[in-house]
Chain A
Amino acid sequence: MITCTINGKKLTSDADPETPILWFVREHAGLTGTKYSCGMALCGACTVHLNGQPIRSCVVPISAAEGQSITTIEGLSNNGLSPVQKAWIDHNVPQCGYCQAGQIMSATALLASNPAPTDEDIDVAMSGNICRCGTYPRIRAAIHTAARNMKNP
C-alpha cells in the first residue's frame, strides 16, 4: 500500500510500488496534465514537484513518494492562475502545449529558489525541458515577467 499526498489530497493505493510517479498520477490519480514523452528523464515533459523539488516523474517510482507530497500542474494554483501560468498566457507561450506542464513546473521551481533568475540561470534550470514547437524564446521572456510580477504583485 502506498500513501501519499497529491495536490493536497491524501491518496492510498495498492499500485505496484515500482510504478513511476508519472504513470501513477496519470492512471491511478487520473491527473493527465503531466505528460509522457521520453520515459528516460531526457525531456522534462513529466516534471512534477516532490515536496516542492522538481523531479522527472517518469523515472521516480511512487514508492519514493511514500508519505510525501506531490504537486502536479493541476495543483499548481488553487485560486486561479499562478503568476507563472499568467505570464505564460501573456506571452502567448504554448503552441501545441504538450510540453508546457513540464516547462511550467520547472520554471515555478526555479522561481521559488531564485526570484530573479538571469538568462544563464534560466538556461541551467530549463535546458532539461524540450519543446519541439520551439517556444523557448517566449518561455524565457515569460519567466522574466513572472519574476517581476512576483516581486511587485
Chain B
Amino acid sequence: MLDKNLSRRAFIQGAAVVGSGLTVGIDLASGVALAGDAPSFSFPNPWLRIDAKGITFVLDKTEMGQGVLTAMAMIIAEELDVDLEQLTIETAPADRIYGTFTDLGVQMTGGSSSIKSTWHPLKIIGATARQLLINAAAKIWHVEPAECRAESAIIYHDVSGRRGSYASFADAAAQLPVPVPTFKNPNTYRYVGKSRNKMDAKAHVTGVTKYGVDTALDKMLTCSIVRCPFIGGSVKSYEDSLVKKSPGVRYIIKLPYGLAVVADTYWQAKKAAELLTVVWNEGELGALSSASIRGQFEAGAKDGGKKIRHEGNIPKLGKASKEIIDAVYETPYLAHATMEPQNCVASVTKDFCEVWAPTQTPGLCMEVARDITGFSTDKIKIHTTSIGGGFGRRLLADFVAEAVTIAKEVPAPVKIIWSREDDFHHDFCRPASYNLMSGGIDKSGMPLYWKHLIVSPSILSYFIPQAMSAMMPAWIPVCIGKSIGGAVGSGFHGLIADDTATEGAKDLTYRIPNIQVDYHQVDPGVPVGFWRSVGHSHQAFMVESFIDELAHLAGQDPYKYRRKLLAAHPRNLAVMDRVAAEIGWSRAAPKGVFRGIAQHSSFGSYCAQAMEVRVDLEGKIKILRVVVAFDCGQIVNPDGVKSQIEGAIIFGLSAALKGEITYELGKVQQNNFNDYQVMRMNETPVIEVHIISSDQAAGGVGEPGVPPVAPALANAIFAATGIRHRRLPMRVL
C-alpha cells in the first residue's frame, strides 16, 4: 500500500518540452509497486500541458456522477491560478503510471479515494507549474520572480506594467530547473471550498454526453448475448437456423456461457436472439438457492471464525453481565443496477485492439485486452467513456473481456449491450452476510462485552485474480501475472481474512472493555464484487443497530448512550452531536413521529444520520425526514459533497427497504426494476445535509453516506413500533 501522505515523498520529476510547451506531472520516488516499469517512469505522467493549444488538464479518474472531474479541475485551477473555464479537460489513456496513486496500483476510480489521493499531487503540480512559468517570465524580463504575480493564466510584473500569457512562457519554463512549490494561502482560495456546479452538467441536460453505450463507429455491428441463466453454467447444445435467417444478423458466436448474436443494429440482434433454442448445462450450482446459501452460512457460524479483533476477555462475561442480548443479523446479496447497463465496444484487427469502455478501471481493461489478444500494451488503446453509474460494478472488466473476445471473431468493431435482465442475472453482487451478535451490559447499563461473528464471502478472492496482472510490472508476461493472481485469489479462501468483509465491524468505535470480532469466510459460489461502501454497507447496519439494542436494553437514550462511549473519537462524536442538534433530539418529536440515529466512519470520513418516521394505520412506515452531518475533512466542492450525500441516502434507502437478489435452482430470481425495486420520487423523504468543514486531510465522499442509512432507519422504526429489524431489506413501506 502506498503512503497516503504523498507530500513528503512526492516530487516533481521533471518538466519537459513535449512537442512545444510545458508538461508537468508527478512521480513517486520509491516504495511503489510499479518499480521496474522503466519507460513509464522516464517521463513525468502528463496531468497538465500548457502549449499553444491552451491549458489541458488530463483527467485520470472516471467521472461517473461523483463530480471528480469538477473537483480535480478546481484543485488544479486553484494552484495554477487559472480560471476553471480556461482548462480543457482531456481523458487520460490507460497507462500504468496512473495507477500510482491508488491502493492497488491499478488505474481505477473507487474506494472514495480520488480526492483523498490526488489532493496533494494536484496541488504540487499546479503550484509548480505556476512557479515555473513565473520563473520563466522573470528570467525573460530580467526581474525577480518575487516581483511577478499570476492571475487567470497571465503573469504580471506590476512595477513595469509588463504582462504575458502562460502559453507564451511555456517553452521557456520547460527548460528551467523544477522549483519547490509554494502553495497558495487557503484564505485566498477562489475555487477550493466554494460550491461550483458540475462542469459537465450542460452536456448531461442536453443529451450530448457520450456514455459507453453511445459509442458509434464506422461499420460497427451490435451484439446481444443469450446467457446461461444458471450461475456458472454453460451451453450444451443449440439450434440457430432461424436466427441466421433473421434480418440484419451477421454472426453467431459461441461463448462458453452463451451465444452472441451480432447484427447491424441492437434491435435486430435482440429480436434474432429470441429465436435461439439453447440447452444448458446447469454447472455445479444448479441446486443453489437462497435457502441453501443461508444453510451454508448457519453451518459456517457454528464453526466460529478467524480472529479479527480481540480485546479483553470474553468467555466469562455472559454471566458477569447484568443483561445480555444474542441476535442474528442478516443482509442480502445486492445488485448494483447502474442506470446504464453494462456495455462495451471493441475493435480487434490483425495487430491492434481498441476498446471503448464505461469503466472504473482502465488499467484492468488494458490487462484484459492484453490477455485476450496477446498484443503488447502499445498495440492496445483503451478509451474511457462517461459512465451511467458505477457504484463498484464497473471496477470489474468482465464486459470488456466479453467485447474483446467477440470482436476478435468479427472483422468490424462490435458493441455489446447487456439487457437489464442480463445486468441483474449476471452482476457481481454485494455479498450477503450472516452475523451472530452478542452483547452484555453491566449494572450501570454500559456495555461489558461485544461479540460479533461475521459469516460472508470474500470479494477479493474474485477481484484479485482479475486485477493481479494489472498490478504486476509490465515486463512480467501476462500468464505469470495471472497465475500469481489466481494463487493469491484462491489463497484468500480460508487463509487470510478479507478486510472487505469485516471493515466497519472490526473498527468499532465504541469504548467497550471486551471485544471479539471474528470472520468466517463462506463462499457459496455466487460472483461477488465491490458495491458502494463495500463491507461498511452491511457492517454498519449490524454495529449501529446492535449498539442501539444495548442502549434500549440499558433503558438509556440511544444518542446519549453512544456519546458516553465515543470520547476517544472526537470526529465521530462531533457528527453525532451535530445531527442530534439539527434534528432537535433533545426536544420531543411531534406526536406520532419517531426518531432513530446512527453514526459511522468510513473511507476517512465521518457521517451521522438521524431520521424521523411515522407509522400509518396499516402499519406502513413513512420516512419524513433524513438529517445528515458529514465531516470529510478538507472540502473541495461543498455542493458536490452535498449532492453525493443526498444520492447516498437514496441509494442506502433502496438497499435498506427494497434491495435483495435471491436464488432458486441456480438462477437469480430478479429480472428488472419490477422485481428489483429501487427508491422513486414519491418515496423520497426530505434530506438535510450539514457539512462540518475542517482542515483535516481530505476523506472520501462518494461512499461514506451509505452505511448509516439502514441502521438509522431501523432504529427509528424500532422507536416507532418496538419491532427490531435484524434482516435487510426491511419491507415496511
User: Which residues in A have some Cβ–Cβ distance to B below 8 Å?
Assistant: 16, 18-20, 23, 26-28, 30-40, 42-43, 45, 72-74, 76, 81, 85, 88-90, 92-101, 104, 122-124, 126-140
Contact = CB atoms under 8 A, between A and B. Distances in A.
A42 B265 contact: no
Contacts of A39: 419-420, 672
Which one of A36, A122, A132 has the highest number of Cβ atoms from chain B below 10 Å of its Cβ? Answer: A132
A134 B648 contact: yes
B557 interface: no
Contacts of A99: 339, 388
Nearest to B67: A95
Nearest to B688: A137
B684 A137 contact: yes
B186 interface: no
Contacts of B197: 89-90, 92
B42 interface: no
5 contacts: A33-B208, A92-B198, A101-B207, A133-B389, A135-B647
B678 to A, nearest CB: 6
Given A134-B649, A134-B679, A137-B687, A98 B205 contact: no
10 closest pairs, A vs B, by CB?
A33-B207, A98-B388, A134-B650, A97-B204, A96-B65, A95-B65, A134-B647, A73-B207, A123-B682, A94-B204
A40 B417 CA distance: 16
A35 B340 CA distance: 8
B280 interface: no
A127 B247 contact: no
A34 B339 CA distance: 13
Contact of B680 (A19, A27, A95, A130): A130
Given A37-B388, A134-B649, 15 more contacts: A30-B216, A31-B207, A32-B216, A36-B341, A37-B339, A37-B340, A73-B205, A81-B205, A89-B201, A89-B202, A92-B640, A94-B65, A97-B388, A98-B340, A137-B684
B268 interface: yes
A116 to B, nearest CB: 18
A78 B708 CA distance: 45
Interface in B133-170: none
A100 B66 contact: no
A73 B417 contact: no
Contact of A23 (B267, B339, B647, B679): B267
B200 interface: yes
B214 A95 contact: no
Interface in B185-232: 197-198, 200-211, 213-214, 216, 222
A28 B266 CA distance: 11
B436 to A, nearest CB: 33
Nearest to A91: B197
A32 B214 contact: yes
B682 A37 contact: no
Contacts of A92: 197-198, 201, 639-640, 643
A91 to B, nearest CB: 9
Interface string B656-676: 000000000000000011100
A95 B203 CA distance: 12
Contacts of A34: 207
A93 B206 CA distance: 13
Contact of A132 (B66, B265, B339, B684): B339
Given A33-B206, A42-B673, A94-B205, A127 B682 contact: yes
A89 to B, nearest CB: 5
Contact of B673 (A27, A28, A96, A130): A130
Given A43-B339, A81-B206, A38 B651 contact: no
A127 B680 contact: yes
Contact of B265 (A23, A35, A73, A90): A23
B205 A104 contact: yes
B127 interface: no
A92 B266 CA distance: 33
B646 interface: yes
Nearest to A38: B420
Contact of A134 (B202, B208, B388, B651): B651
B620 to A, nearest CB: 16
Nearest to A86: B205
B712 to A, nearest CB: 16
B672 A123 contact: no
Nearest to B247: A16
B319 to A, nearest CB: 47
B509 interface: no
Contact of A73 (B206, B680, B687): B206
Contacts of A40: 420, 672-674
A20 B271 CA distance: 11
Q: Which of A33, A37, A76 has the most CB of B within 10 A?
A: A37
A31 B208 CA distance: 9
Nearest to B417: A36
B205 A16 contact: no
Interface in B415-444: 417, 419-420
A132 B639 contact: no
A42 B211 CA distance: 21
A110 to B, nearest CB: 11
Contacts of A23: 265-267
B541 interface: no
B613 interface: no
Nearest to B213: A36
A129 B684 CA distance: 13
A56 to B, nearest CB: 12
B573 interface: no
Nearest to B215: A32
B681 interface: yes
A132 B337 CA distance: 8
Nearest to A87: B205
A114 B389 CA distance: 31
B386 interface: yes
B16 interface: no
B391 interface: yes
A16 B425 CA distance: 29
A75 B420 CA distance: 27
Contact of B643 (A18, A89, A135): A135
Nearest to B222: A27
B404 interface: no
Contacts of A81: 202, 205-206
A28 B248 CA distance: 13
Contacts of B649: 134
A126 B684 CA distance: 12
Contacts of B205: 73, 81, 85, 88-89, 93-94, 97, 100, 104
Given A89-B201, A132-B391, A38 B207 contact: no
Contacts of A42: 672-674
Contacts of B338: 96, 98, 132
B679 A98 contact: no
